[in-house]
A and B are shown apart, each in its own frame.
Chain A
Amino acid sequence: MDMKKDKKISFFQITWCLCVLVVTCAICTQSGYAQTSQIFRNYSSVVPGKIPENQDAISAGKKIYEKHCYYCHGIKGDGNGSDALRLNPKPRNFTRNEYKIRSTLLGELPTDEDLFRIISSGIEGTAMPFWNSLTINERWQVVYYIKTFNKEFENSKNPESSSVANVIPESPESIKIGSELFKDAKCVNCHGEDGRADGKITTTLEGVWDLPYRARNLTKSWLFKGGHTSSDIHRTLTTGFNESPMGSYAEYLSHEDRWHLAHYVKSISKTMDTDVVLLSYIVETDLPTGPDDPIWESISSIEIPLAGQIIAKPRLWMPSVNSIQVKSFFSDNYIVFLLEWDDKTNEQNETYSDAVAIQFPTVIPESSEKPYFAMGGSGKGVTIWQWRAYDEVQELAKKELGQVDDSVTATDGGSSVDSDEESSDDEGEVAPDKIEEASESEQTEGVVEEARPLFTNFAKMREMNAKGFKNVSVQPSKSQLTKSLGVWKNGKWKVMVTSPIVTNEKKLDIQFEDGKLIPYALAVWDGSNQEIGGLKSISSWYYLNLEKVIPNSVYFYVIIAIIIGTSIQFWVIGRVRRFPPKVNEE
Chain B
Amino acid sequence: MRKKKHSYSMIWAIFSILIVFGIIKYASPYAFMILLGKDHTMPTPSTLMLWYMILGVLGALVYVSTSDLKWANFLSFMLPGEDDRTKKLLQKIIVLALPLLLGWFVYSGTVPGTASPVELRIQHPTLLQKYENMENPFAHVSEELKEKYTEEGKHLYQQNCRPCHGSKADGNGPFANSFRLRPINFTDPGTIGTVVESFVFWRIMEGGPGLPDGSTPWDSAMPSWEDTLTDEQVWKIIMGEYATAGVVPRQREEAE
Residues of A within 8 A of B (CB): 9, 12-13, 16-17, 20-21, 23-42, 68, 71-72, 81-83, 86, 125-127, 129-131, 133, 276-277, 279, 305-308, 310-313, 317, 368-370, 372-374, 377, 468, 515, 517, 538-543, 545, 547-548, 550-551, 553-554, 557-566, 569, 572-573, 576-577, 580-584
Contacts and interface: CB of A to CB of B under 8 A. Distances in A.
Contacts of A581: 71-72, 75-76
Nearest to A83: B158
Interface of B: 21, 39-40, 43, 45-47, 49-50, 53-54, 56-58, 61, 65, 68-69, 71-72, 75-76, 78-80, 95, 98-120, 154-155, 158-159, 162-164, 166-168, 170, 172-182, 187, 207-209, 216-219, 221, 223-224, 227-228
A562 B49 CA distance: 25
A377 B50 CA distance: 39
A129 B172 contact: yes
A146 to B, nearest CB: 16
Given A34-B118, A517-B115, A313 B61 contact: no
B54 A577 contact: no
A181 to B, nearest CB: 32
Given A540-B178, A584-B68, 12 more contacts: A26-B109, A28-B53, A31-B46, A133-B187, A276-B117, A306-B178, A369-B218, A374-B221, A468-B209, A540-B221, A550-B113, A573-B95
Contact of A131 (B106, B119, B155, B168): B168
A561 B106 contact: yes
B178 A539 contact: yes
Contacts of B177: 37-40, 305, 307
30 contacts: A13-B71, A23-B98, A24-B50, A26-B109, A27-B21, A28-B46, A28-B49, A28-B54, A30-B108, A32-B47, A71-B158, A83-B155, A83-B158, A83-B162, A129-B168, A305-B178, A310-B163, A310-B175, A311-B224, A312-B224, A312-B227, A368-B120, A372-B208, A540-B219, A541-B219, A545-B113, A551-B112, A561-B105, A573-B95, A581-B71
Contact of B159 (A83, A311, A559): A83
Contacts of B182: 37
Given A127-B173, A127-B174, A370-B218, A27 B105 contact: yes
A421 to B, nearest CB: 26
B180 A36 contact: yes
Contact of B110 (A32, A554, A572): A554
A28 B25 CA distance: 10
Contacts of B179: 307, 540
A576 B180 CA distance: 54
B72 A129 contact: no
B20 to A, nearest CB: 10
Given A368-B120, A369-B218, A540-B181, A82 B155 contact: yes
A543 B115 CA distance: 10
A368 B105 contact: no
B178 A557 contact: no
A12 B64 CA distance: 13
Nearest to B24: A28
B174 A126 contact: yes
B98 A313 contact: no
Q: Residue among A71, A82, A312 with the most chain B CB within 10 A?
A: A71
B219 to A, nearest CB: 6
Nearest to B14: A20
Nearest to B109: A26
B3 to A, nearest CB: 15
Nearest to B113: A548
Given A21-B54, A372-B209, A9 B71 contact: yes
Contact of B79 (A41, A468, A554, A576): A576
Contacts of B107: 554, 557-558
Given A129-B167, A566-B99, A576-B78, A25 B50 contact: yes
A458 B45 CA distance: 46
A16 B14 CA distance: 13
A562 B45 CA distance: 29
Given A276-B117, A313-B227, A541-B180, A71 B154 contact: yes
A543 to B, nearest CB: 5
Contacts of A81: 158
Contacts of B98: 23, 565, 569
A20 B17 CA distance: 11
B163 A317 contact: yes
Contacts of A279: 113
A47 B53 CA distance: 42
Given A9-B71, A34-B116, A276 B180 contact: yes
A501 B239 CA distance: 51
A36 B64 CA distance: 42
A86 B207 CA distance: 21
Nearest to B170: A133
A68 B49 contact: no
A377 B209 contact: yes
Contacts of B101: 23
Contacts of A310: 163-164, 175, 223
Contact of B99 (A515, A553, A569): A569
Given A32-B46, A83-B159, A558-B106, A580 B79 contact: yes
Nearest to A377: B209
A524 B102 CA distance: 47
B53 A16 contact: no
Contact of A72 (B118, B158, B166, B170): B158
